[in-house]
Chains A and B, each alone.
Chain A
Amino acid sequence: MPNIIVFTSGKGGVGKSTLVANIGTAIALYHKKVVIIDMDIGLRNLDMIVGLERKIKANIVDLTKGLCSLKDALVYDARTKNKLALIAASQSDFKKDINLFKFRAVLSDLETMFDYILIDSPAGIEEGFNKSIYYAKKAMVVVNPEISSIRDADRVLALLENHRIKKEISLIINRYRKELKKKRYYIPSDEIIELLGAPCIGVISEDERVLRQNNSGIPFVYQSNLQISTEIKEIAETIIGKKKNRITKKNQTKSLWDKMKKDSS
């Protein structure tokens, strides 16, 4: 399952859903078929960010429970010539209501239909997170330039690195304010990459228009004049292999135990 990519973070509210909506849209605008799945069961949001909330008839829980067909659960975005599809989360169920094996079967079906599957993980490192990351072959860890977010990202990185299904892991630094880079209280992006010891696929600036676009249901990436749109498109290009990732991995200060551990790839 090479093109199943989970967006996760540990800490909540760092921009996972915003990034899934915009990167998903950007990939679709490159004429690739992509499905975005909201795994935040009980707290569904992704449908609103992409402005598809009114079209939803069924959700991922219905699907894994066999209560509806894939056709019922997939909602297509006409603005992308139906290249982008969404499977919404359920608003009334709980994380436990997804059966991991059934979820796997759904992913297998989706793989035959789409080039990319992007999973929007809930915050935290519990059940919803575990199910979201389980079958992903790539993981994007979203982090804000704040110590609480960095600490949680470090915890999530360790969980992803030790997962039984090997994952290619990248960081996305979101809500970055370049103008503060030199401030004593600010953590510059290169420091975040160095500290977390994972490759970074992109840095997205802080921009108040994100809020405006999220509220309007039109992903900001449609506004091609924005700096953040360019930043999103660069990540999309890296994902679809149009572009080599420029930001490289820095050395991680690992413990002796971790250094000695065999790489099980």
Chain B
Amino acid sequence: MSSKLSNRLKSILDEDRKVLSKNSERDLKKKLADIMSSYFSIDKRKVRINIVKTNYQSEYKLTADMPIKKSALDKEK
């Protein structure tokens, strides 16, 4: 197989897989927001999740940023 063909095939699969893992990211975000919103008034559109490197030994953590709706806080006052 020529390297041209190999690279073409790899880049096709990489592109497809990127879209797919975007889908699973979206799915996780939606599920997390759904669970949290039964406890808090989450602003579902603003939920961010991320996988970040925590130290030089390549440990990772999953972070979720879920803003609580301002209207919900106002009600508390």
Flag if B62 contacts A147 (CB, 8 Å): no
Chain B residues with CB below 8 A from A256, complex form: 51
Asked if residues B5 and A154 are in contact (CB atoms below 8 Å), the reply is no
The B contact surface, by secondary structure, is helix
Return the contact of A147 from the options B8, B18, B24 (Cβ within 8 A).
B8
Q: Is the CB of B16 within 8 A of A155?
A: yes
Count of interface residues, chain B, beta-carbon cutoff 8 Å: 21
Q: Measured between alpha carbons, how far is A187 from B13 in the docked complex, in Å?
A: 14
| A147 & B1 in contact (Cβ 8 Å cutoff) | no
**Contact flags (1/0) for B21-45 with A, using CB distance below 8 Å?**
1001100000000000000000000
Nearest 5 CB-CB pairs, A to B? Answer: A184-B2, A255-B21, A257-B21, A158-B20, A154-B13
Q: Footprint of A on B, CB under 8 Å?
A: 1-2, 4-6, 8-10, 12-14, 16-18, 20-21, 24-25, 51, 60, 62
Tell me if A261 and B24 are in contact (CB < 8 A).
Answer: yes
Taking A154-B16, A195-B13, A255-B18 as given, write out 18 further A-B residue pairs in contact, using a Cβ cutoff of 8 Å, ordered by the A residue number. A147-B9, A151-B16, A154-B13, A154-B17, A155-B16, A162-B24, A183-B1, A184-B1, A185-B5, A187-B5, A191-B1, A253-B10, A254-B17, A255-B17, A255-B21, A256-B51, A257-B51, A261-B24
Q: Find chain B residues with CB under 8 A from A195 CB.
A: 9-10, 13
| Nearest chain B CB to A175 CB, angstrom units | 16
B12, B17, B24, B25 — most chain A CB neighbours (10 Å): B17
Q: Does A186 contact B (CB under 8 A)?
A: yes
Q: Which A residues lie within 8 Å of B13 (CB)?
A: 150-151, 154, 195
Cβ contacts under 8 Å, A162 to chain B? 24
